[in-house]
Amino acid sequence: MKLMLQVALLFGICFTGEFISGYLPVPFPGTVISMIILFVLLVTKIIRVDHIQKKADFLLENMGFFLVPAGVGILGSMGLLTGQILSFAIIVVVSTMTTFMATAYTVQGVMALQDKIHKNKEKRGNCHE
């Protein structure tokens, strides 16, 4: 039953993001809005990690399965891509490298920020002794 509640919670957030996306004056993906909503709910502790942990673990463990439809869609469009295969390959490589670099720099930035926060807490802790 707990898994069903987690699914319902995540679907509710997804539907909310899609609803908001439909009313925005500019096109913006509902999935991105949903992730922002989930992030805000987690940061403000309205939703705790254990509220979605089981479903999130399931989704991460089966991520490859969810990418199959995208792969099949690309294979179904191979006729359209035949003349553009070099351009498509370049786009894939460049976007993959850009994603890797953005992720690496984000992780480094977050780690530096966490170290700075940790050092500030230690300084404040030592001053009160």
pLDDT for the residue numbered 128 = 52
pLDDT at 58: 84
More confident residue, 66 or 117: 117
The answer, yes or no, to whether residue 44 has pLDDT greater than 60, is yes
Residue position matching structure tokens 């999935």: 31
Q: What percent of the chain has pLDDT over 90?
A: 43
Domain ranges of the chain: 1-65, 74-129
- Residues 16-32 have pLDDT tens digits of 999 999 999 998 899 99
What value does the mean pLDDT take over residues 117-125? 84
Average pLDDT over residues 41-49: 91
Distances (CA, A) of 11 to 39, 76, 82: 15, 29, 37
- Is the pLDDT assigned to residue 39 strictly greater than 80? yes
Looking up tokens 């939703």 gives 47
The amino acid that residue 64 corresponds to is G
More confident: 36 or 78: 36
What are φ and ψ of residue 45, in 5° steps?
A: 65, 20
pTM for the full model?
0.56
Decide: 72 and 47 in contact? Cβ < 8 Å.
no
